[in-house]
Chains A and B, each alone.
Chain A
Amino acid sequence: MIRIEPRVAPGRLMTLGVPVLSAVIALVLACIPLLFAGANIATAYAEMARGVFGSVFSFTEVLTRATPLIFTGLAATLAFRAKLWNIGAEGQLYLGAMAAVAVGTGLFDLPGVLLMPLIIGFGAAAGAAGMAVPAVLKTRFGADEVVTTLLLNFIILIFVQMMLEGALKDPMSLGWPQSSPILDQGMLPQLIPRTRVHAGLIIALLAAVVAQFMLARSVWGFRLRAVGENAAAARHAGIGVNRSLMSVALISGALAGLAGVSEVAGLKGYLTADLSPGFGYTGIVVAMLAGLSPIGVVVSALFIASVFVGADSMSRAMGVSSYLADLVVSMSLLCVLIGGFFARYRITSTKPVQGAAS
């Protein structure tokens, strides 16, 4: 008889090996859609690699693309650790971006040292507020946060479109629905001249380090993990479960809001309704590939960003749909889930005991 037994403790090799192996398998599986599209497999992979490692500029594009993914990956990581299913990072990202353009485009004509922190602070607060709503609906009314955060994504995106045709519309944009540009001194500085990498990356890396420390070493992190592992036991041990959930909800929302700030104030300069190609949802994949470890998020965000940058460049060169990237990303998620099973359990076969019922 085949039995599924939990492993005593998953080894270090397993925790590191599973995500890497999953990513590799997902990349290899990409040859099925490539064949379907009639592309030469070898050329396609070579084009993807060239798109990522081909030049210094292409690699800085990966860093630029990874920046919002680190933020949304961290947002998912912290929330999921507490088993708070924040699927609303996409909406919270837009709230952060909207707050950034609301205060950054001329409402306050401050010097950069004041304006930049103001933009960042407002953006984070807007993201946090966006997650506070489903968190209150969950803790007060028992409304499932998965559904509310998902639905809020749609509500917020429509709200963004409304604001871009109304209060936040750039009067100089000739009818195009986009916001005014953020004041020059409010823009996050560029890190490498003639590339698009910006200081948002530094903030993202700092956030990852702080999150790692808080999660592993602080009382807050301990409570959060306790709530995630067994809410009933945590409550019994005197941990304020709802308080813990609220605090992680706010921080998760704030991180997603920062993704929006960094895209608007670091890269684009103004807000449009197509600011994010699904960074919020991709953040979930980033978090899962990272095994819900904040430092791991940085690595997996770089991987996912490479997939997008590489597939984009391959798509331009070979005419294969760039939806290939989304396909690889979703397959990595499914692979890492399956891999996680084999890291946590082992399958053994035992001989049935004579005469005993199976």
Chain B
Amino acid sequence: MIDILHILISESFWIASLRIATPLIFGVLGALLCEKSGVLNLGIEGIFVAGAMAGWIAVWLGAGLWGGVLVAAGAGAFFGLIHAILTVPLGLSQHVSGLGVTMFATSVSYFIYRTALPDTTSPPRIEPFQALDIPILSDLPFIGPVLFQQTAMTMLALIMVGVVWYVLDRTALGVAIKAVGDNPDSVDAQGLSVYGLRIGTIMAGSALMALGGAFLTMSAFSSFFFGMVNGRGWICIALVIFASWRPGKALLGALLFGAFDAFQVRLQTEVGAFVPGQVFLMAPYILSIFALVIAARRADYPRALLTPWFKGQR
């Protein structure tokens, strides 16, 4: 028991939690935006891969770290646009289209990476984002290291929580996005473009998802490798339902998830001798399924989610 308490009060544990949560924060926010506009985006897993690859390769080619972030976001918006065209004006199955985008984005990324870097056994590294060291703030006890010794991308993720909340809850654009996900006819009746709103929101959401991937190659690790996204996108889809489509709760869900993951890694060193390591590797996925089952009953889905809308048809 003392050991568990010891883990929970250590700074390094909370630093790790927030670090693990960062890509999920981007991903959950992105998925949340898409779904708020009425479109499920299962392209998320592939968009993570595309963001990770595009951001990394841009930095490797000399674009600079923030240049890499922009390239990653652009790549995400591009694959988001493909999903948007298939699901919004064409009104095709959001499930199958999303899986198609995941397969497409993943294979494009792997193909480009393999073509740019044939037979490298040890992938080249880039100089990733370093921990911020903000004077005064970083020196605050506990809060300082946990919050302000993270990299700039973690800061960006936390800022994006506020931005997404503000846009959805406090602006006319947010009202329109939510309306288009609940009742597109009402939006159309006001003379706004259902297609435009949905396509734009999906592109923005997909750009956020790609930043989650970019965090992996540009902040958490310093190289790209195959299978590095490892289901993080799917976990985000579960977390959106857990968060009942609220940005604040999305942050909470991602943090809880990060804390759990950081905790189990530390627990592993304590009880690793008795329990096979794979049990710990499975834990995040099992936790996500649990979160989904708990949240599913009271899930308040955007009412027009998964329903295509065609202009001039009621």
Contact = CB atoms under 8 A, between A and B. Distances in A.
Interface of A: 1, 3-4, 33, 36-37, 80, 85, 87, 137, 141-144, 146-148, 150-155, 158-159, 161-162, 165-166, 281, 284-285, 288, 319-321, 323-324, 326-327, 329-331, 333-334, 337-338, 340-341
B104 A331 contact: yes
B111 A321 contact: yes
A158 B278 CA distance: 6
B292 to A, nearest CB: 5
Given A147-B238, A166-B276, A288-B96, A330 B107 contact: yes
Given A151-B238, A321-B115, 10 more contacts: A4-B313, A85-B95, A137-B293, A141-B297, A143-B293, A147-B241, A154-B282, A158-B282, A162-B276, A330-B103
The dominant DSSP class at the A interface is: helix
In the A-B complex, the 9 residue pairs with the smallest Cβ-Cβ separation, listed nearest first, are: A321-B114, A330-B103, A326-B107, A162-B278, A330-B104, A323-B111, A327-B107, A333-B100, A143-B296
B312 A3 contact: yes
Given A147-B237, A341-B92, A321 B296 contact: no
Contacts of B86: 334, 337-338
Interface in B94-109: 95-97, 99-101, 103-104, 106-108
Contacts of A80: 96
B225 to A, nearest CB: 14
B271 interface: no
A118 B292 CA distance: 36
Contact of A151 (B104, B231, B278): B231
Nearest to A281: B103
Nearest to A332: B100
Interface in B273-305: 276, 278-279, 281-282, 285-286, 288-289, 292-293, 296-297, 299
21 contacts: A1-B312, A4-B311, A4-B312, A137-B289, A142-B299, A143-B292, A147-B288, A147-B289, A151-B231, A154-B231, A155-B285, A158-B278, A162-B278, A162-B279, A165-B276, A281-B103, A326-B106, A331-B104, A333-B96, A334-B86, A341-B92
Interface in B15-48: 42
A311 B299 CA distance: 45
Nearest to B115: A37
Contacts of B238: 147, 151
B124 interface: no
